[in-house]
Amino acid sequence: MLGPFTINTVFPAFTQIGQEFGASDVVLQQLISVYLASFAVMSVFHGPLSDALGRKPVMLTGLAIYILAMFGAVLASGMGMLIALRVLQGMSAGAATIVSRVVIRDLFAGAEAQRLMAQVMMIFALSPVIAPMLGGWLLLLGDWRWVFAGVGLYGVLVMVLTALMPESLPRSARIPLRLGSVVGSLWEVGRSGTMVRIALATALGFAAHFVFVAAAPIIVVRLLGLGEQDFWVLFGPLIVGMMAGSFVVGRAAGAMDRTRLITLGYLGTLLTSGLNLVLVMVFPDPSGQLDASLIPVLVGPMLMSFTASLFFAPIQLEILDLFPHHRGAAASLGTFFTLVVNALLSGVIAPLITGSLTVVAVAAVVFVVAGSLLWTWHLVERRSHPRSVAD
């Protein structure tokens, strides 16, 4: 939950931060994009380092830096300092969020790993709706600095719980801590066309859902005409969809082939994104009130979140299983593609596609079409040239 908490709790505070520092919507969006960009850059290294040092040391060190950066934001005196601290938060947060996925695969395999990953995704799905609500409640205590203090305290809790975890990578299974070994593991994973196709398919397919998260401050306040405490109106349906999809993934473990489930997820997201586009084109703009006029524009995103979650958790295991001896590196590079797309969505694309709900819907369709084509390419290649690992 750490990643979504770091992103979404800040949304309700955008107005206050902008007023205090005289920042425009585009500048405020950088609080999200620089976090995601720095997260993406460092994500390349967290996994390989955990392959060499063990999972817990990397997670705990990252959490310590993250907590310092969070509480440092409380003391920020300008927009430049706040953005710099968001960079530091992004560089450190991935140590816990990325490596924790590897821990699951270290300890579990097959259907049990898929069930646990689905359970984790259900918990993960709660955080985007809890986070902006928490941010809104923290604003009732004072100014926007309370938001960063609250998330910092959550980081302390995560660090304590991580310290109590077992180490899942024994010393005998670790790679040597040498630059050549770390770079070598990244090279072995990164040169795999199979990995690149799957990772890009994940990033672009999930972007159909994440576009609503990245553009939430503009969608909720400007396009829907709601207030700072009303982010739950958008995030509630998104989370209901993700939790329902994750539940289905968990129940399908062992009963349905993983590849078939992923394919079903992409087909479903194609259909639901098309439905969402039709709904926002047919029905008039919402009234700006919490009433029935919101239903048509929220049904589509909820269904898209459901179908996207059908492929998101299983496809993580698909990437990890490609490289059983370099799972950390595989998790890092697999996550890197998603993070880069998310960063571009938050800082560059979101301000450009939020002129209307229709434009947002069109963007979601484009993303899922691209992701589906890449997944189809992967299936065709696998049938034509079956191989055990990289191609």
Residue 391 domain-assigned (yes or no): no
The token pair at 114 is 């898929």
User: Which 8-state DSSP code applies to residue 386?
Assistant: -
Any idea which residue has 């999809």 for tokens?
245
Residue 147 domain-assigned (yes or no): yes
Tens digit of pLDDT at every position of the chain (391 positions)? 888 788 888 888 888 898 888 888 778 878 887 887 888 788 888 888 888 888 899 999 999 999 999 999 999 989 999 999 999 999 998 888 888 888 888 888 777 887 887 777 777 767 766 787 788 888 888 899 999 999 999 999 999 999 998 898 888 888 777 777 667 777 888 788 888 899 999 999 989 988 888 888 788 888 888 876 677 788 888 888 988 888 888 888 778 888 999 999 999 999 999 999 999 998 877 766 777 778 888 999 999 999 998 998 888 888 878 877 777 778 777 878 887 887 788 777 888 888 888 999 999 999 999 999 999 999 998 888 765 444 4
| Structural domain that includes position 358 | 2-384
Residue 322 domain-assigned (yes or no): yes
CATH number at residue 266: 1.20.1250.20
The whole-number pLDDT of residue 279 equals 93
- Please spell the DSSP secondary structure of 3-24, one letter per residue: HHHHHHTTGGGHHHHHHHHT--
Residue 86 domain-assigned (yes or no): yes
Residue 128 domain-assigned (yes or no): yes
Q: Residue 109 in 3-state DSSP?
A: coil
Q: How many CA atoms lie within 13 A of 376 on its CB side?
A: 9
Residue 348 domain-assigned (yes or no): yes
Number of compact structural domains in the chain: 1
Residue 242 domain-assigned (yes or no): yes
Are 116 and 25 spatial neighbours (Cβ–Cβ below 8 Å)?
A: no
Q: Residue 379 in 3-state DSSP?
A: helix
Distances from the Cα of 259 to the Cα of 10, 163, 191, 313, 329, angstroms: 37, 35, 22, 12, 22
| pTM beyond 0.75 | no
Q: Which amino acid is at 127?
A: S
The token pair at 213 is 């998260």
Angle at 42 between CA 166 and CA 113, to 5 degrees: 40
Give kind and range of the element (H or E) at residue 330.
helix 327-344
Q: Residue 219 in 3-state DSSP?
A: helix
C-alpha–C-alpha distance, residues 199 and 194, integer Å? 9
Angle at 310 between CA 134 and CA 357, to 5 degrees: 60
